[in-house]
Structure 1
Amino acid sequence: MSSLVLAIDIRNTRTRLGLAVDGDLAAQWSVGTDAGYTPDEAVASVAAFFDAVTRGLATMEPGAVLDGAALPLRAPLADGAIVASVFPALTEVWVEAARRLTGTRPLTVGPGLKSGLKMDFADPASVGADRVAEMVAAKSAWGAPVLVVDLGTATTFELLDREGSFKGGIIAPGMGLGAAALAQGAAQLPAVGLRAPRTLLGRTTEAAMRSGIVMGEVARIDGLIDMIWAEAGYTTPVVLTGRGAEAIAALMAHEAVVDQSLGLRGLVELYGLNRS
């Protein structure tokens, strides 16, 4: 019988769920992160995810082979689980949900969990669980050095050096925060959707804002990549993940690989390293 592992990645805006079969991520699902979530609602979200897998409605990983009819119909739904959270108020909510779903307390990403990474960082315990998972997956897929850029509520950069050590990173406001700040802080500026403008110089207020937010993000990422490479003394593969990564990568001057499964795959790898 196949081994099933549930991966739960709690971010500020979205919570991503992954189902791994025999150590490989097979399917994923996304729900909104809600500070008022209860363990019952978290359990219901996972149940909906499993139902979507069974019905062929969930996002499946390329090459994944998963017979939906073989999924458990009642708890335990998986053999184990791992939780990464950057939303402390929801950590125990999802831990309790995972315990109900698997019959055992899940692993949580944090101090004491083996990652296989060298942390050349002043306070390793302060590195976000999501960033650790992404670096683990990036190192596995691309080796070292590698630079990961995550487009979320914050735009983050993580550099693994030639020895595979986390050398440090950058955290900046994400595009959504920038758009919200403009709309809230300037009385005459409206809320706008985050899509690339047709031309750089906008001929309407909305188009000008989209240029500033979206193309400004592209310029910031391209510029920071060059600055990181200059400080490191070498170039690296660049991996983009997060909301809108495909669109941003297409606009960048630097070549970048988009990997939307990066964080969940990293959680699955962390589970494998620590399951004993």
Structure 2
Amino acid sequence: MLLVIDIGNTNITMGIYDKENLIGNYRLNTKAKRTSDEYGMALLTFMTVHNVIKEFIEDVIISSVVPKVMHSFNNGIRKYLDKEPIIIGPGIRTGISIQTDSPRSLGADRIVDAAGAYYTYGGPVLIIDFGTATTYDFIAADTTFQYGVIAPGIEISAQALWTQAAKLQEIEIKKPTSILAKNTVTSMQAGLVYGYVGQSEYIIRKFKEALKVDMKVIATGGLGRIICNETSMIDIYDPDLTFKGLKIIYEKYKGLEH
């Protein structure tokens, strides 16, 4: 079995692969400060819920964009699972050739999503990750990561509304029944959801106009489903794309053909 972990700015998500089957997922808040023991116990709890004992885990692979948690997290894995985690970074074969101006500045999560989308759905492909930030990344047919756009995430935009405007309250992010909003809550929901649909469609359209190639559009990320349900310009919403990418990179790292 393979334990796959994605450490993002907002959440830490974990999954277990039993061969080709993904067994559940587990989510922790990244911003809480935890010790190696707390991380280790969280891992064991996740595994226990799915009837997995630590001896079943062959390897652990991690994608992280939050360096400050890595020392405690890695030590938790070593102490409680007796494994040395594989960390996505320089020297790890990913199957994606990065052709940007500063390849080393590209987040591990975006590389993992690129591998997951390309080797699952083919290329050229445009990947939209609705995470803490919303990223739009283009992978060409020859596996090269060529272009990317970064925008504020949906939750960041929502938090800006209720923290910067004194009379606006915290709301649930969901699609209102109509664009014709009649109160403050539904007005904010309409602005967030329909505004993000408009942003997504415009950026997709501009990519297609600029590159003049037929590309698949794959979306992922926690709030992505809300947006994907409102547009025909996104072909597939895959909530497990990052887990798939981690597994693909692991297989390449181990010399297994995917």
TM-score, reference length from structure 2? 0.93
Q: Which moved more, 1:110-119 or 1:100-109?
A: 100-109
Q: Which runs of 5+ in 2 are unaligned?
A: none
| Contact 1:80–1:104 (Cα < 8 Å) also in 2 | yes
SS of aligned partner of 1:132: helix
Q: Which amino acid aligns with 1:29?
A: Y
User: Per-residue displacement from partner, 1:126-149 (whole Å, max 9, x unpaired)?
Assistant: 111111111111111111101110
| Contact 1:133–1:267 (Cα < 8 Å) also in 2 | yes
| Contact 1:35–1:89 (Cα < 8 Å) also in 2 | no
Match 2:18 to one of 8, 18, 21: 21
Structure 2 partner of 1:205: 184
| Contact 1:17–1:30 (Cα < 8 Å) also in 2 | yes
1:137-148 equivalence runs, <5 A: 137-148=116-127
SS of aligned partner of 1:251: coil
Q: Which moved more, 1:223-232 or 1:31-40?
A: 31-40
Q: Which amino acid aligns with 1:96?
A: N
Rounded to whole Å, the distance in 1 between the matches of 2:224 and 2:192 is 14
TM-score, reference length from structure 1? 0.88
| Contact 1:151–1:240 (Cα < 8 Å) also in 2 | yes
Rounded to whole Å, the distance in 2 between the matches of 1:20 and 1:100 is 21
Structure 1 partner of 2:149: 170
The answer to whether 1:12 aligns with 2:2 is no
| Contact 1:241–1:262 (Cα < 8 Å) also in 2 | yes
Rounded to whole Å, the distance in 2 between the matches of 1:108 and 1:231 is 35
Q: Which moved more, 1:102-111 or 1:221-230?
A: 102-111
Change (3 A) 1:25 1:101: farther
Rounded to whole Å, the distance in 2 between the matches of 1:131 and 1:101 is 29
SS of aligned partner of 2:50: helix
Q: CA deviation at 1:23?
A: 5.5
- Aligned length in residues: 255
Instruction: State the superposition RMSD in angstroms.
Output: 1.6
Following TM superposition, where does structure 1 have runs of at least 4 consecutive aligned residues deviating by more than 6 angstroms? Answer: none
Q: Which runs of 5+ in 1 are unaligned?
A: 55-70
Structure 1 partner of 2:35: 38
Match 1:185 to one of 154, 164, 174: 164
